[in-house]
Amino acid sequence: MEPTTKPKKVHYRDIKKKLTELGPDAMIHYNNDLDSLANFQRLCMFTFRHWEFPVTDVYIHDKATHQNHSFA
């Protein structure tokens, strides 16, 4: 039996750090929704109830440059 590898995850604090670096035009893209940092934090606390996300499911969209920044 081959060892299974867990999918790589990114923590909320790393998402927050990257979002802060990119500036106010950056938005978090998760579950086909674009969210601000404050809204994403509320979702983590009350809806998702977890702070780590698979790197393939979350990325940051910078509206100023129209670029996507992934964590993969």
Residue 3 in any domain: the answer is no
Give me the number of domains the chain comprises. Answer: 1
Tens digits of residue pLDDT in 10-67: 999 999 999 999 999 999 999 899 999 999 999 999 999 999 999 999 999 999 999 9
Q: Reading across the β-sheet that carries 67-70, which strands appear in turn?
A: 33-35, 26-30, 58-62, 67-70
Question: Is-above-0.75 flag for pTM?
Answer: yes
What is the predicted pLDDT for the residue at 7? 79
- Tell me how far CA of residue 41 lies from CA of 12, 59, 65, in angstroms: 8, 15, 24
Residue 55 in any domain: the answer is yes
CB-side exposure of 26: number of CA atoms within 13 Å? 17
Residue 2 in any domain: the answer is no
**Structural domain of residue 62, as residue ranges?**
9-66
Residue 39 in any domain: the answer is yes
